[in-house]
Chains A and B, each alone.
Chain A
Amino acid sequence: MGVGKKLIGWLDERTGLVALIKGGLDEDVPGGARVRYVFGSVLTYLFLQQVVLGILLATYYSPSATDAWASTAFIQDRVAGGWFLRGLHHHGSSVMVVVVVLHLLQVVLAGAYRKPREVNWWTGLFMGGLVLAFALTGYLLPWDQKGYWATQVATGIMGTVPLGEPMQHTLQGGAQYGNLTITRFYALHVFVLPVTLTVLLGAHLYLFRRHGVTPPASLSDEELARKTQPFWPNQLFIDVAAMAVTGAVLVWMTYRTHGAELFAPADPASNFVARPEWYFLFLFQLLKYFEGPLSIIATVIIPGGVATFLFALPFIDRSESRAAKKRGPVLAGVGLIMVGVVVLTALAVVADANNEHYQEGLVAAHEDAERTRELAAEGVPPEGGTAVWQNDPQYAAIAVFKETCATCHEIDGRGAEEAPSLTHYNDRAWLRGAVREPRSLTYFGGTKGHEEMEAYSVEDLPDEQLDAVIEFLLELREQGKDEPDPSAYDAKLAKQGAALWEDELDCSGCHEIEKGADGVGTPVFWGRGTRAWIARVIRNSSQADLYGENAEMPAFEGKLSDEEIAALADYVYAQGLAD
């Protein structure tokens, strides 16, 4: 006797383990092992795998409103294999939903909900509901835009039904989303739901063993007995083969999508295009058809009716035989529900595919996702997910601007008007305005000591001439760059503008356009408006080719670091790119 056998013998003598395993495996399958019996086993496998994956994710995930996104991004983008395990967990829930539906359909087709298996049917339905609850609670946990907004809709629906508000507030831990929402969803997702499902699964398996499989109704008792095979290994082999196919599909899906999506951190101020996960799309679509007080039809009455129908199926089905053709109405009822779900899902998918606004929103959402996850590589500030934007150099520039520049300049209304506005600074409309109304607050109206530039009226300078001059100014700007961009201005118009400048206009009385020239307390226009030019103005605007003796702006050279000045120049320059 080998050591292994001895050890097993020793253990068995004290625990009865061998008999227990034998009891578990020794079971006759009347009518023989069949592929159609695999769904329950596949679901058990998926559930166990989800548990293992969930525990693994929990070793890196942190359930708090400030940490959830950052820790999920850490799993997704940093930890070795994190994306793969998270992807398996995410897609595993989708596959579970699919297999739950297949299992349900198989049970309905076989008539396995009928006496004496009613309680088994009900535990199964409960577990199906739990799978959806798992999906719903898990969706929020990354605390990204998608999970946050989709779950807002779900809890919002809860709040609209009678007595729903206290329920909603209990679930989300108050009137608003926050730390308590995530800790509650987490506790539900990792403790309450798994424990409940495990208990129900135990009951389900016990009842299943008590009543056995529901063999095809077409086989006679004699045939069933003759074709009987043992569960081990015949049925178990088919079961494990089906699990392997499911696992292969899961791995394939995970590789193909590089795991689960992770959008930008939840931002309560954004207008994210919220969509639920695909298996809830039919409910989402249903909501579109019922307005105002009627929405309860879509949120409660129809889903409640379907659930009631399914629960009552053993009582609704009064037919004598289990044979499918004798149970036409019941099968038609379930079939109708399935058709409804499929059609509504398809309608939702088609509607979104044709919805330009949604598609644009999705593109923007993916861009944000990519950017924030890049920024997260440096570590997310402890203020929470959205604070990851602070890693963006432009964010640093905005902060410096607020502190240093906004006392005189404004951008988008934030800041003072004691110096030219930098909103859309140097784009075509801004430049036109500078010529038409230099004395307004937007330009030099608020700047001390700047009183000399006069407005050019439409009579003296018609719009089409002004447009040409603006193109000429843009050309001059481009000339100042290391790599001029010819597409930044209209060359033909710029040529006309240059001729006007030369022959007709008074601008050249004060403004030089030659490289290396000095102004007369006025900026030279060669290279005016490039990033480097803006940076020079910030450093010290009193240089002869900038504002010279008329410079009012303090020199920030030495007060701000080179990096800060460069970032500020980038930020100000970017204001003009919007047009």
Chain B
Amino acid sequence: MSDEAKGQDTQTPSEGDDTRRAFLKVGVGALGAGLAAVVVAPALRYSLWPLAEGVEVTSGGDEFVVVGKRDQFGAVPVKVDIFADRVDAWNRTKNVKIGSAWVVELDGQLHAFSSVCPHLGCAVDYEAESDKFVCPCHDSAFGLDGAHEAGPSPRPLDQLEFEEQQDGKLLAIRFERFKQGIEDKVKV
């Protein structure tokens, strides 16, 4: 091992010494910053990876899923659970619950609402006494047609896409999630 500082003399500091010190100080800063960057730069990419383009950490349930027979739905809202195969980061799980929907028939028109409150994501309930959908968290209330009637929710309940399958015998829903807290219904 070579000794770095042979012959240095701290008793008689000179101008050359000062320059050298300054160089060493800058060197410490530069090397230290370089060392930190070795970890920090990939760490940023790594941590922000779920946001990167083309990355889908959770997937599944993009298709229409049969939730029941068409004739079981009527004027009283029915809550249906939606099951699908789901990929969640490293796991692939078959037939798990990915969400639920309220299905109601109003003047011959079928509606399927996501049970996720557009305000902050609590699960909306049906309240039989008032015949309304009510969010248990912040008391937003919605009519059976999904219209926003009271409370802080910025928009009506989110209508989900659905289709009637097998000559209208079965009802299938495509479950999607939408951004919360904004006026427009935008897919997440």
- A247 contacts chain B at the CB level, 8 A cutoff: yes
Bound form: Cα–Cα A79–B49 in Å:
6
Q: Is the CB of A59 within 8 A of B47?
A: yes
- A309 contacts chain B at the CB level, 8 A cutoff: no
B7-15, B73-81, B154-162 - interface stretch: B7-15
Q: Which residue of B lies closest to A385 (CB)?
A: B90
Interface residues of A in 69-87 (CB under 8 A from B): 70-71, 73-74, 78-82, 84-85
Bound form: Cα–Cα A81–B39 in Å:
10
Q: Is the CB of A243 within 8 A of B28?
A: no
Bound form: Cα–Cα A484–B46 in Å:
49
Interface bits B1-29 vs A (CB < 8 Å: 1, else 0): 11111101111000000000100110110
* A-chain residues with CB within 8 Å of residue B87 when the two chains form the complex: 378-379
Q: Which residue of B lies closest to A33 (CB)?
A: B5
The distance from the CB of B87 to the nearest CB of chain A, in whole angstroms, is 4
30 contacting pairs across A/B (C-beta < 8 A)? A32-B3, A32-B4, A35-B1, A35-B3, A49-B35, A49-B39, A56-B46, A67-B90, A70-B91, A73-B90, A79-B46, A80-B52, A82-B49, A227-B8, A227-B9, A228-B10, A229-B10, A233-B21, A233-B27, A234-B24, A236-B24, A237-B27, A240-B31, A240-B35, A241-B31, A243-B31, A378-B92, A379-B90, A379-B93, A380-B91
* B-chain residues with CB within 8 Å of residue A576 when the two chains form the complex: none
Q: Is the CB of B39 within 8 A of A53?
A: yes
Of A32, A56, A243, which contacts B5 at CB under 8 A? Answer: A32
- A432 contacts chain B at the CB level, 8 A cutoff: no
* B-chain residues with CB within 8 Å of residue A433 when the two chains form the complex: none
Most central of B8, B21, B35 by chain A CB within 10 Å: B35
Q: Is the CB of A381 within 8 A of B27?
A: no
The distance from the CB of B153 to the nearest CB of chain A, in whole angstroms, is 33
| Contact (A33, B93) CB under 8 Å given A85-B39, A240-B32, A241-B31 | no
* B-chain residues with CB within 8 Å of residue A62 when the two chains form the complex: 90
Q: 9 additional contacts, CB 8 Å, given A81-B42, A382-B93? A: A32-B3, A35-B4, A79-B49, A80-B52, A85-B42, A237-B27, A240-B27, A240-B31, A241-B31
Interface residues of A in 28-63 (CB under 8 A from B): 32-36, 45, 49, 52-53, 56, 59-60, 62
Bound form: Cα–Cα A391–B93 in Å:
12
Bound form: Cα–Cα A370–B49 in Å:
23
- B45 contacts chain A at the CB level, 8 A cutoff: yes
Q: Which residue of A lies closest to B29 (CB)?
A: A240
* A-chain residues with CB within 8 Å of residue B38 when the two chains form the complex: 88, 247, 251
* B-chain residues with CB within 8 Å of residue A73 when the two chains form the complex: 90
* B-chain residues with CB within 8 Å of residue A247 when the two chains form the complex: 34-35, 38
* B-chain residues with CB within 8 Å of residue A80 when the two chains form the complex: 45-46, 49, 52
Of B11, B34, B90, which contacts A376 at CB under 8 A? Answer: B90
| Contact (A85, B49) CB under 8 Å given A33-B5, A71-B89, A382-B93 | no
Q: Which residue of A lies closest to B46 (CB)?
A: A81
Q: Which residue of B lies closest to A236 (CB)?
A: B28
- B150 contacts chain A at the CB level, 8 A cutoff: no
* B-chain residues with CB within 8 Å of residue A236 when the two chains form the complex: 24, 28
Q: Is the CB of B3 within 8 A of A34?
A: yes
* B-chain residues with CB within 8 Å of residue A559 when the two chains form the complex: none
- A244 contacts chain B at the CB level, 8 A cutoff: yes
The distance from the CB of A215 to the nearest CB of chain B, in whole angstroms, is 11
- B147 contacts chain A at the CB level, 8 A cutoff: no
Number of chain B interface residues as a range: 35 or more
Q: Is the CB of B10 within 8 A of A84?
A: no
Q: Which residue of B lies closest to A52 (CB)?
A: B39
Bound form: Cα–Cα A241–B32 in Å:
9
Q: Is the CB of B43 within 8 A of A234?
A: no
Q: Which residue of B lies closest to A69 (CB)?
A: B90
The distance from the CB of A320 to the nearest CB of chain B, in whole angstroms, is 26
Of B1, B8, B31, B89, which contacts A32 at CB under 8 A? Answer: B8
* B-chain residues with CB within 8 Å of residue A84 when the two chains form the complex: 42
Across the A-B interface, give the 4 residue pairs with the lowest CB-CB distance, nearest first: A379-B92, A81-B42, A70-B90, A233-B24
Interface bits B86-120 vs A (CB < 8 Å: 1, else 0): 01111111100000000000000000000000000
Number of A-B residue pairs, CB cutoff 8 Å, is 124
- A492 contacts chain B at the CB level, 8 A cutoff: no
Interface residues of B in 27-84 (CB under 8 A from A): 27-28, 31-32, 34-35, 38-39, 42-43, 45-47, 49, 52
Q: Is the CB of B90 within 8 A of A74?
A: yes
* A-chain residues with CB within 8 Å of residue B4 when the two chains form the complex: 32-35, 234, 238
* B-chain residues with CB within 8 Å of residue A251 when the two chains form the complex: 38
- A515 contacts chain B at the CB level, 8 A cutoff: no
Q: Is the CB of B49 within 8 A of A381?
A: no
* A-chain residues with CB within 8 Å of residue B11 when the two chains form the complex: 226
Q: Is the CB of B42 within 8 A of A34?
A: no
Q: Which residue of B lies closest to A251 (CB)?
A: B38
Interface residues of A in 217-271 (CB under 8 A from B): 226-230, 232-234, 236-238, 240-241, 243-244, 247, 251
| Contact (A71, B39) CB under 8 Å given A81-B46, A234-B24, A240-B28 | no
* A-chain residues with CB within 8 Å of residue B91 when the two chains form the complex: 67, 70, 379-382
The distance from the CB of B187 to the nearest CB of chain A, in whole angstroms, is 22
Bound form: Cα–Cα A84–B39 in Å:
9
Most central of A56, A73, A233 by chain B CB within 10 Å: A233
The distance from the CB of A541 to the nearest CB of chain B, in whole angstroms, is 32
Q: Is the CB of B31 within 8 A of A244?
A: yes
The distance from the CB of A551 to the nearest CB of chain B, in whole angstroms, is 35
Q: Is the CB of B27 within 8 A of A241?
A: yes
The distance from the CB of B76 to the nearest CB of chain A, in whole angstroms, is 36
Bound form: Cα–Cα A484–B17 in Å:
82
Most central of B47, B92, B94 by chain A CB within 10 Å: B92
Bound form: Cα–Cα A391–B87 in Å:
13
The distance from the CB of B91 to the nearest CB of chain A, in whole angstroms, is 5
Bound form: Cα–Cα A232–B43 in Å:
30
The distance from the CB of B154 to the nearest CB of chain A, in whole angstroms, is 32
* A-chain residues with CB within 8 Å of residue B43 when the two chains form the complex: 52, 56, 81, 85
* B-chain residues with CB within 8 Å of residue A53 when the two chains form the complex: 39
Interface residues of B in 138-182 (CB under 8 A from A): none
Bound form: Cα–Cα A81–B91 in Å:
20
The distance from the CB of B49 to the nearest CB of chain A, in whole angstroms, is 4
Bound form: Cα–Cα A71–B91 in Å:
8
Q: Is the CB of B5 within 8 A of A85?
A: no
Bound form: Cα–Cα A214–B81 in Å:
72
Of A52, A56, A81, A244, which contacts B34 at CB under 8 A? Answer: A244
Q: Which residue of A lies closest to B48 (CB)?
A: A80
* B-chain residues with CB within 8 Å of residue A67 when the two chains form the complex: 90-91
